[in-house]
Amino acid sequence: MHIAEGYLPPAHAAAWAVASAPFVVHGVRALTREVRSNPESTLLLGASGAFTFVLSALKIPSVTGSCSHPTGTGLGAILFRPPIMAVLGTITLLFQALLLAHGGLTTLGANVFSMAIVGPWAGFGTYWLLRRFGAPLMVAVFFGAFAADLSTYCVTSVQLALAFPDPGTGFAGALAKFGSIFALTQIPLAVSEGLLTVLVMRLLTQSSKGELLRLGVLSKVTGKDKGAGRAGASGEEKEAAAR
């Protein structure tokens, strides 16, 4: 659930837009580079964007007695890195802001910052660290997607608490209030998103082994679970693919 249209004071809305813009611009360049050097990745890019589309359209009931929706940004961040996800997430947010009156144009910058920037980075960071410490692929994917989902809504809570501090208790009081609305509601949904991302990744390991090898999600040594350093591995694989 994103910040609704007009619900951030103009100064905050502008500040978040300025903060988000460089990430999205950088993302667009990363995306064009990826498509140009690996035209065959277009399909999987489309599938990652589609996953975000599906998940952010599903409003699911949660333990707090309210509804929210997952974000689906963890998968693309793990596959293609966060900059590319910044673009795909922004497209999803634009669709919802323009056609569904969900989120908004004035709050787009803030919503992009939470869902398309912090979420993917938190998800990818969690995934990368877990893989670094030798966690199995699917465990890392689950917690990566979980972190991407939950962190998005923690950021939303912070953004609103900054804009609307509690008259008595200030920022902390408002953060507790918005946190109980967004972050708490999101916990079971983040578990669901983690499980769904694991499901899609399982299907991908069966259907698209070559792509996952090239992207460094699977490593060449065993064909599956050994967590080789992603950065080095993906470089080698690109060369291998070029040959």
Partner 1 sequence: MSRNAKINTLLLLVVAALAVLPLALGLGDHKEEPFTGADAQAETAITELKPDYEPWFSPLYEPPSGEVESALFALQAALGAGVLAYYFGLRRGRRQGEARALAAAEGTGGAADAADVGPAAARGTGAAG
Q: Where are the alpha helices (DSSP H) in 164-229?
A: 170-207, 209-215
Residue 123, SS3 per DSSP? helix
Is residue 91 near partner 1 by the rule CB under 8 A? Answer: no
Q: Report how far residue 4's alpha carbon sits from residue 237's, in angstroms, rounded to the nearest whole number.
A: 43
Interface residue with partner 1 among 19, 28, 35, 58 (CB under 8 A) is 58
Residue 108, SS3 per DSSP? helix
Q: Report how far residue 216's alpha carbon sits from residue 228's, in angstroms, rounded to the nearest whole number.
A: 8
CB of 63 to partner 1, least distance (A): 5
Q: Report how far residue 3's alpha carbon sits from residue 159's, in angstroms, rounded to the nearest whole number.
A: 9
Piece of 2-10, 14-22, 124-132, 228-236 that binds partner 1 (CB under 8 A): 2-10
Return phi, psi of residue 60, to 5°: -120, 135
Is residue 148 near partner 1 by the rule CB under 8 A? Answer: no
What is the DSSP code string of 127-149? HHHHHHTT--HHHHHHHHHHHHH
Piece of 22-30, 76-84, 193-201, 226-234 that binds partner 1 (CB under 8 A): 193-201
What would the two tokens of residue 229 be?
């350093």
Quick one: which of 89, 90, 79, 87 has its CA closest to 212?
A: 79
Is residue 10 near partner 1 by the rule CB under 8 A? Answer: yes
Is residue 6 near partner 1 by the rule CB under 8 A? Answer: yes
DSSP classification of residue 104: -
Piece of 19-27, 202-210, 216-224, 233-241 that binds partner 1 (CB under 8 A): 202-210
Piece of 31-39, 80-88, 118-126, 170-178 that binds partner 1 (CB under 8 A): 170-178
CB of 213 to partner 1, least distance (A): 14
Interface residue with partner 1 among 21, 25, 43, 240 (CB under 8 A) is 43
Q: Report how far residue 80's alpha carbon sits from residue 7's, in angstroms, rounded to the nearest whole number.
A: 32
Site string for partner 1, 214-233 (x = CB under 8 A): --------------------
Positions that interact with partner 1 (CB under 8 A): 1-7, 9-10, 43-44, 46-47, 49-68, 95-102, 104-106, 160, 164-167, 174, 177-178, 181-182, 185-186, 188-189, 191-192, 195-196, 198-200, 202-203, 206-208
